[in-house]
Chains A and B, each alone.
Chain A
Amino acid sequence: MSVTRWTIPAVAAALVAAIATLLVVRGAQSQYEQEFAMRMARTTSTYIAAVTPPPPPPPPPPVRRPPPAARRGRPRAAAPSPSRPQPPAVPPPPAPQLSPAARSYHLPALLTQARALKTLPGWTSEVEVYYGTAPLVDATAPPLTPDDLRELDSTGTRWRGGVAIVPLRDRQGRELVGAVAVRPLPVRRGPLPGGLGFALPAALLAVGVAAVIAFRGRSLRGGGYIAAALLLAGAGFSDVHTAARVSTDRWLVDTRRLIQDAAARIPPPGIRVAVNDLAALVQSSGGEVVDGEPGESAPRRVQIDGDQRAVVAISIGSNRWVELRAVPAELDAPRWIILLLPCALLGPIGILLLRWAERTPVRQRRESAIAWGFLTPAMVHLLVFTIGPAIFAVYLALHSAETVAGLANFRNVLDDPVTWRSFRNTLVYSLYVPVSVGVALFAALMVHAHRARWSGRLLGAAFLSPYVCSVVAIALLWQLIYQMGALGLGRVDWLNNQATALAALMAIAIWAHVGGQMMVFLVGLRRIPRSYLDAARVDGAGAWQRFWRITLPLLRPFTWFVVVTGFISAFQVFTLVFVLTQGGPLHSTDVLANRVYRLAWGSPAEAGVGVATALAAAVFVLVAIFRWPQLKLLTRVVRDA
């Protein structure tokens, strides 16, 4: 056993990783529990509204109507009182002044109804119903404050101290009458003895392995600790998944009771309950009720129209069965991996860093730390604004309006003839690149030859000026030129003619891009030492031979750069098309980027963001094919420089 000054930090790193992972698991579990409680409270609130009978014939009109300010149940006397006094010590606050709408419930019936909830068999939560601020189920429970009610009325739900509180509204669902609070009772969190989940044992194991490695100085290459950390992440996910599943199952089971009860009470005696009435109970909590087959009362997972649903069969008497369905909460559980995995891997990463620090001389360590200090802002920027959106784009491409679409979006893209049309248009459009590169090279040679004279500088500035202009400005300028038939182009509306529109765009592109490409060539020309050309002249090469045999080969990296970046930007062309033709006429100038835009935002939105992103991803792959030589090229240019 060798304790170095790295041992303690290593164990600490493992501990931090384990605790962080456990915290994430715990957080996920409480979130799913909260989700259940909220859902349950909402269902209960709807249920109460549905089953509590209306008040008996209207009472005589009140002597004094409360002013409008009090309509939200604000008691004037209670305003200065401290929040939530303890019942034994302080007498309960005076009953709030309720609006007439609040009286739409028969209070004694509501009281009975609320108390009856306690007697529902198999419920996994405690429930409290407030009339105004007063608790009905447990009269000694602390009342709500008027502020609570106001808050509820505006935000809809509250979560406080492990209790979900939702508003209870009148039978028309308008005025706030009171609230329903649900406190989920503790349930088993895991399958191990004592309701233990897998995460805790896995965390202990991971810390243990890390401690062994730290004290024995064994290499991380054995993978033991990494495996343990991955196991921890997996166990944590298993626990989260269980919690999600339990959350849905609890809601199904508890709601089942309410539905059975409601089925007997909603309709007048002797009339069969309508499935729609039952469905209305769970609508606000994201459930469905449909006619069903006899089945088990335990929740199951089934595939319905290709989507997974959690279902439970409910008998509503006399051989009538309905099925309660909900989207299983565990479907979105995988997103917790995004948190769990990094947390669990904190340990291995920390230990790797420590091992690196142990091996590395102090100076190199310091310099690395400084280097990372400089790199971090750029990396964060890259992560947030480039890599993050890219990952999000992959997600979008694989989804269609929140549901997993897999490769369907891509199939849609490939099946769309307009996409292929735009692909072909893009290819044709990109053919302007060789032309503009040729013109740019010629221009650069001219400017370079006259670089010492004002004529050369003027020529260079003239070629460069379009390059520094906004593409929109260029587009508008050319629109004017085309429309006026200036420059001897005649009175043909070049941009509105299917046969000429794309060519007209290409002409603009050449005009706009020559300057930038010329700049690159000028740099290249300037980098060719004069002695090469002198040597060639003495060796007997004429001007033409010097160009073909010396200048052009020596410019090759620059030519490559210009061509590759030219094709890349041609593939991404959007502004020009968007400003001038919007892809028209009749898709004759529809290019890929424009297609992506149309698919996503076009009116009418033709396919949605998912399909648009799928096409964007396809374009990305195309461009990446060009990027590859560009990257190799850049490294070469850098090496040559």
Chain B
Amino acid sequence: MAPITVRRLSKVFDGGVQALHPLDLEVRDGELLVLLGPSGSGKTTVLRCIAGLEEPTSGDVVIGERVVTQLSPAERDVAMVFQNPALYPHLTVRENIAFPLEVRHVAAAQIARRVLEAATRLGLKDVLDRMPDQLSEGERQRVALGRAVVRGPQVFLLDEPLSRLDAKLRIALRGELLALHRALGATMIYVTHDQTEAMTIGQRIAVLHEGRLRQVGTPEEVYQRPADVHVARFVGTPGMNVLQGRGRAAEKGRVIEVGSLVIPIELSTYEGELQLGIRPEFVTLCAADHGVGNADVLVVEPLGSETLVHLDAGGQPLVARVPGFAETRVGTQVGVKLDRRRVYLFDAAGAPLA
């Protein structure tokens, strides 16, 4: 097993699109790191650069002790699981799993043993002789895992392996994946755009946005102490509310005006343009004129255990998470209260304040 170090990695595609700005990332030995970001953020490009499928414009990839930047994928001893999941359609499950061993000219007896081992581990023993198009989506993804596992590589790269599965299957397979990681102890990089998946799976999460690495940290760190507005917005379901406002002096200390809300903030000395972040669970609703301001109710989404209320606070969108079923009616005006201790302040560019 091996740690992975990515040094000043950047990628500019033909045509001048800068997919990655120079980026440093360290994945510890045996760690499961999640690369999280919206589509187009460059997370798959990072993965493909590590796998060797994409040649970085600059920078280095180090796996274990070796600088592998100039090596072909075959020489890097990495295994990759694709989103689609790229099972060879003309080969049976057995042949698919055996493929990485066969192209490396492993002895036939050993191939048979290791394929059976991997298949048993993934519960594929009964479907070994089927063709990929005869499998369910979940089985197919397991075969793709099997093809990665069978070689016992130093590093596993998983490119949104669960995104095509339905919700229930995804949760089940997520558990299996974690168990597999524990059993193998291998270093894994897991790419996803689903922040729930990232939170549940990752030992650490690296958040990418527009080709830049924004934050690397444990799920808790990323959630509690977002490094910037983009991370704050992206992590959480729904993400953090970010409102544009400005701070100014008032009769009693200082206030921040965001839309129709006027929030007294003693701590901040900041004046001028800023962004205020607050997670929906810390927004509460009350009767009109009883909070820090009023807002119009746009949409009410009851989810059972809680209700999401989408508000318009003087032109600024704001979501409140209310336990149970809310009484709120669409089209009415409500008062808004914010838990002041949970407010995050960012400057106009998105960097955290204080």
Contacts and interface: CB of A to CB of B under 8 A. Distances in A.
Interface of A: 452, 529, 531-532, 534-542, 545, 549-550, 553-554, 556
Secondary structure of the B contact surface, majority rule: loop
A537 B74 contact: yes
27 contacts: A452-B14, A529-B86, A531-B84, A532-B86, A532-B89, A534-B82, A535-B80, A535-B86, A535-B88, A537-B52, A537-B73, A538-B74, A538-B78, A538-B79, A538-B80, A538-B157, A539-B79, A539-B99, A539-B151, A540-B73, A540-B103, A540-B151, A541-B74, A542-B103, A549-B88, A553-B88, A553-B90
B147 interface: yes
Nearest to B78: A538
B104 interface: yes
A307 to B, nearest CB: 62
B142 to A, nearest CB: 15
A331 to B, nearest CB: 60
Interface of B: 14, 48, 51-53, 72-74, 78-80, 82-84, 86, 88-90, 99-100, 103-104, 147, 151, 157
Contact of B88 (A540, A542, A550, A556): A550
Given A536-B99, A540-B100, A545-B103, A529 B90 contact: no
Contacts of A537: 52-53, 72-74
Contacts of A529: 84, 86
Contacts of B79: 538-539
Contact of A534 (B53, B90, B147): B53
Contacts of A545: 103
Contacts, number: 66
Contacts of B104: 540
A540 B99 CA distance: 9
Given A538-B51, A541-B74, A553-B90, A531 B82 contact: yes
A542 B99 CA distance: 12
Contact of B90 (A531, A536, A538, A554): A554
B93 to A, nearest CB: 14
Contact of A539 (B52, B84, B147, B157): B147
B144 to A, nearest CB: 8
Contacts of B82: 531, 534-535
A549 B103 contact: yes
Given A531-B86, A535-B80, A549-B99, A540 B74 contact: yes
B85 to A, nearest CB: 8
B103 A554 contact: no
Nearest to A534: B53
A534 B83 CA distance: 12
Contacts of A556: 90
Contacts of B100: 539-540
A541 B103 contact: yes
A434 B167 CA distance: 50
A538 B14 CA distance: 23
B131 to A, nearest CB: 12
Given A537-B52, A540-B100, 15 more contacts: A531-B84, A532-B86, A532-B88, A534-B51, A534-B86, A538-B51, A538-B52, A538-B80, A538-B157, A539-B79, A539-B147, A540-B73, A542-B103, A545-B103, A554-B90
Nearest to B74: A540
Nearest to A535: B86
Contacts of A536: 88, 99, 103
Contacts of B72: 537
Nearest to B104: A540
A540 B53 CA distance: 12
Contacts of B51: 534, 538
Contacts of A541: 74, 99, 103
A545 B72 CA distance: 14
Nearest to B150: A539
Nearest to A541: B103
B233 to A, nearest CB: 31
A538 B73 contact: yes
A539 B100 CA distance: 5
Contacts of A532: 86, 88-89
B22 to A, nearest CB: 24
Nearest to B15: A452
A535 B158 CA distance: 12
A545 B103 CA distance: 7
Nearest to B83: A531
A452 B13 CA distance: 13
Contact of B74 (A452, A542, A549, A550): A542
Contacts of A540: 73-74, 100, 103-104, 151
A129 B147 CA distance: 102
Contacts of B52: 537-538
Interface centre among A452, A534, A538, A542 (most CB of B within 10 A): A538
B90 to A, nearest CB: 4
B145 to A, nearest CB: 12
Contacts of B151: 539-540
Contacts of A542: 74, 103
Interface centre among A529, A535, A554 (most CB of B within 10 A): A535
B156 to A, nearest CB: 11
B80 to A, nearest CB: 4
A539 B74 CA distance: 6
A537 B103 CA distance: 10
A535 B80 CA distance: 7
A536 B96 CA distance: 10
Nearest to A540: B74
Contacts of A535: 80, 82, 86, 88, 147
Nearest to B103: A541
The 9 closest A-B pairs by CB, nearest first: A539-B100, A531-B86, A540-B74, A535-B86, A541-B103, A553-B90, A538-B80, A537-B73, A538-B73
A545 B157 CA distance: 22
Nearest to B144: A535
Nearest to A543: B72
Contacts of A553: 88, 90
B348 to A, nearest CB: 41
A536 B74 CA distance: 9
Contacts of A550: 88
Contacts of B14: 452
Interface centre among B83, B86, B89 (most CB of A within 10 A): B86
B80 A554 contact: no
Contacts of B53: 534, 537-538
Nearest to A554: B90
Contacts of B103: 536, 539-542, 545, 549
Nearest to B14: A452
Contacts of A554: 89-90
Nearest to A553: B90
A495 B110 CA distance: 60
A641 B157 CA distance: 30
Interface centre among A529, A532, A540, A556 (most CB of B within 10 A): A540
A555 to B, nearest CB: 10
A545 B83 CA distance: 23
A452 to B, nearest CB: 7
Nearest to B54: A534
A554 B79 CA distance: 22
A532 B144 CA distance: 11
Interface centre among A539, A545, A550, A556 (most CB of B within 10 A): A539
Contacts of A549: 88, 99, 103
B25 to A, nearest CB: 19
A67 B320 CA distance: 118
Contacts of B99: 536, 539, 541, 549
Nearest to B76: A538
A455 B103 CA distance: 32
A208 to B, nearest CB: 57
A553 B91 CA distance: 9
Contacts of A538: 51-53, 73-74, 78-80, 157
